[in-house]
Amino acid sequence: MRALTIDAHGGTEQVRFREDLAEPALPGPGEVRLRMRAVALNRLDLWTVGGLPGVTITPPWVLGADGVGTIDEIEGEGHGLAVGDRVVINPGISCRRCEWCLKGEHSLCVRFGLLGEHHPGSFAESVVLPVSNVLKVDERVPDDIAAAFTLATLTAWRMCVTRAQVQAGEDVLIWGIGGGVAQAALRICKQRGARVWVTSSDPAKLEQAAAMGADVCLNHASEDVGRVVRERTQKRGVDVVIESVGEKTWNASLQALTRGGRLVTCGGTSGPTLQMDVRRLFWYQWSLMGSTMGNDAEFAAVTAELNAGRLWPTVDAVYPLAEGRAAFERMARGEQFGKLVLRVNDG
Ligand code: ZN
């Protein structure tokens, strides 16, 4: 089968299109095999190419987490799915047996792993995965939108809805609005009636974010975001900060956060190690929260939004799977606004 793979870690030059990969084995009990139609890149895929501590790949390793496909084999019954159904993938694979899975908190699973990182990925003609990791897509949702939707929206949903519980009328600061999670967070927070502050180093991306409904657009290359937020809120600050940058933005995030404010992070793209003064944490009574992917209930909630025509992602560009490396290069250069989609099969 055709697939986008790596044999070794390195830069985007490692990304290689192949046509000679073996099809994955037919599904076992509780599994489903998909004929992929379209898939989409996430920052995670770029990290996988570069190599992640503690994660070993077996070459040729199939990349990719997100995607939409058609069921061509299914094992078991009672799941409400059938051969021929078009479904989206939840790329978070959990054991379904541990304490956290049994509590319904699948992204806290002790054996939690991601498609494309810990399990062979979605950038292939055929993918086998647990039946609990797919949900049906309404026929009105185009393949490109469905492919680009889940990882970013599920991550942002857990951050904004479950963890920070963003309320109408609150101020929310979101870093790096060129990214998929940030854009999904913007849509979710606007839907909930919040006032949203966004940042980017690119004036064109800020203009696009304003067109998407961002209330305040700040250029983090030329403006001191923490100070500007304090000035423009009469020293009050914002109620919620949505973080994924880590080292470079942490101090500004805390400077921007109001008394009793909530900060949620899902990443540390600029570096993992943070410093803070614990006196500020207890005095201002902040809640600092981590968040990763989402559970089954959140996957169902975001897929219902997708099927209702809400929270649809912005697609930056669409490439054929064979030209997938060009999409990785575009992401590595940070040029995209929204999602990069690869078409696998239109049939
Ligand atoms: Zn588990």
Please check whether residue 311 is in contact with residue 339, taking contact to mean a CB–CB distance below 8 angstroms.
no
What is this structure's pTM? 0.97
Q: What does the block give as tokens for 61?
A: 């390793």
- Cα(93)–Cα(116) distance, integer angstroms: 11
3-class secondary structure, 51? coil
CA of 102 to the centre of ligand 1 (A): 7
CA of 133 to the centre of ligand 1 (A): 13
CA of 58 to the centre of ligand 1 (A): 24
CA of 292 to the centre of ligand 1 (A): 14
Nearby residues of 77 by Cβ (< 8 Å), 6 or more positions away:
none
CA of 255 to the centre of ligand 1 (A): 37
CA of 95 to the centre of ligand 1 (A): 4
Please check whether residue 187 is in contact with residue 174, taking contact to mean a CB–CB distance below 8 angstroms.
no
CA of 97 to the centre of ligand 1 (A): 5
CA of 93 to the centre of ligand 1 (A): 9
Per-position pLDDT tens, the chain of length 347:
999 999 999 999 999 999 999 999 889 999 999 999 999 999 999 999 999 888 889 999 999 999 999 999 998 787 899 999 999 999 999 999 999 999 999 999 999 999 999 999 999 999 999 999 999 999 999 999 999 999 999 999 999 999 999 999 999 999 999 999 999 999 999 999 999 999 999 999 999 999 999 999 999 999 999 999 999 999 999 999 999 999 999 999 999 999 999 999 999 989 999 999 999 999 999 999 999 999 999 999 999 999 999 999 999 999 999 999 999 999 999 999 999 999 998 54
CA of 44 to the centre of ligand 1 (A): 21
Please check whether residue 143 is in contact with residue 68, taking contact to mean a CB–CB distance below 8 angstroms.
yes
Q: Supply the DSSP string of 159-182, one letter for each residue.
A: IIIIIS---TT-EEEES-TTSHHH
CA of 284 to the centre of ligand 1 (A): 35
CA of 107 to the centre of ligand 1 (A): 8
Cα-based angle 65, 263, 252 (whole degrees, multiple of 5): 105
CA of 150 to the centre of ligand 1 (A): 20
CA of 49 to the centre of ligand 1 (A): 26
- Cα(324)–Cα(343) distance, integer angstroms: 9
CA of 116 to the centre of ligand 1 (A): 19
CA of 296 to the centre of ligand 1 (A): 12
Query: Distances in Å between the alpha carbon of 90 and those of 116, 135, 251, 254, 295?
Result: 12, 8, 33, 32, 9
Q: What does the block give as tokens for 40?
A: 């989409």
- Partners of 31 in the beta sheet? 130
CA of 36 to the centre of ligand 1 (A): 26
CA of 100 to the centre of ligand 1 (A): 6
Strands (E), 49-103: 61-62, 66-74, 86-89, 92-93
Cα-based angle 98, 104, 110 (whole degrees, multiple of 5): 30
Please check whether residue 16 is in contact with residue 112, taking contact to mean a CB–CB distance below 8 angstroms.
no
CA of 130 to the centre of ligand 1 (A): 13
Q: What does the block give as tokens for 247?
A: 């080292």
CA of 216 to the centre of ligand 1 (A): 40
CA of 295 to the centre of ligand 1 (A): 11
CA of 167 to the centre of ligand 1 (A): 31
Helical spans, DSSP H, in the chain: 43-50, 99-102, 143-157, 180-191, 203-211, 225-232, 250-256, 278-284, 296-307, 324-332
Q: For the chain, give me the number of helices (H) and strands (E)?
A: 10, 18
